[in-house]
Amino acid sequence: MSKTRVLIIDDSALVRSLLTEIINKQPDMEAIGAAPDPLVAREMIRAMNPDVLTLDVEMPKMDGLDFLERLMRLRPTPVVMVSTLTERGAETTIRALELGAIDFVAKPKIGLASGLTDLAHDICEKIRVASHARMHRHVLTAPASSPAHAQEGQAKPERPAHFSRLSTEKLIIIGASTGGTEAIREVLTRLPADSPAVLITQHMPPGFTRSFAQRLDSLCKITVSEAVDGERVLPGHAYIAPGDQHLKLARSGANYVVRLDGGPPVNRHRPSVEVLFKSAAAVAGRNAIGVMLTGMGKDGATAMLEMKEAGSFNIAQDEATSIVFGMPREAIAVGAVDEVLPVMRIAERLLNKLAEFGLAHRV
């Protein structure tokens, strides 16, 4: 079997050396070169035609994001970002995922050599996933209808009270992994301000989910935030699992509330889609609509079947629009899915399904 050919792009000689060593220890991949900046990398890409790139952001001669945007427009190639875990680094990483990067590794701020060595397994797994990702010529577009509040200084429009009262029982429950940040954006930006509440588990490490939520909040008509333990689940809001805690749905009297759990990883993940979907099956039953988006592995498939058996209606993203079809495929395979749709049609289907409950206008 041919090896995955990886080109490393980083201005740090130490990082280039460490990543080369980590990659070359793997039997199924090899580092075919290492570039200190995007201009050198551009020529190496032309000459070597790598399968996967690892890419730093802050580099001389050309910013990593500028390079990534040009690459995805002209020569789409799977990219794993290597980003420093800072607030600015988190915001930049979210932007990189918007531009088409497959995944990222949080580069440690201190103890770089030991930190990257400790991350060797994650780095190699993400390169493996990236090597199988579906790549398309990437053109970043604005949402179908940009929210009025997107202009700086403007508040989100108030939600109509009649809809909020009607939709307090209905919930949208979303699970995603690799490629999920953009799939989630595609769904949420198409939902109206008075949408039923949305609970989301996206596989993402600590330090990045807050920036992800803030970015979505600036783009969406609904209010998007990182979930807080004990807060009430309200219509017109989306709640994203923090990067190091499981997100659960619970009841407090007549209300839905958020519960966060720092327990062990489930299916190797914390947060885990399995945990969220299982709680939705137990608490919401037929009042939930489940959505499984792009991602590697099978996290959430079994619990999505529990949701269906409890009466929920479930949708999976199709293979053609998934970066990685693993999680949707597994959910379909166990019989947990009612419909399979391209990601750009999922929000429309959600609204039409809600219309059957009398909660929204059919589109």
Can you give 68-103 as a three-state secondary structure string?
HHHHHHHCCCCEEEEEECCHHHHHHHHHHHHHCCCE
Catalytic residue among 177, 195, 312, 322: 177
Catalytic residue among 149, 203, 246, 269: 203
DSSP state of 266: B
Distance CA 273, CA 102 (A): 19
Residue 299 among the catalytic residues: yes
Sequence-ordered list of residues with C-beta below 8 angstroms from that of 314, at least 6 positions apart, any chain: 289, 290, 291, 292, 304, 307, 308, 331, 336, 337, 338, 339
DSSP state of 191: S
Residue in the structure block whose two tokens are 């914390």: 270
Catalytic residue among 56, 194, 299, 318: 299
Residue 177 among the catalytic residues: yes
Q: Is the CB of residue 353 less than 8 Å from the CB of residue 313?
A: yes
| 108 cis-preceded (ω within 30 degrees of 0) | no
Phi and psi torsions of 359, nearest 5°: -105, -10
Dihedral sign computed on CA atoms, order 84, 85, 86, 89: positive
Residue 2 among the catalytic residues: no
The strand pairing partners of 35, in sequence order, are: 9
Report the catalytic residues.
177, 203, 299
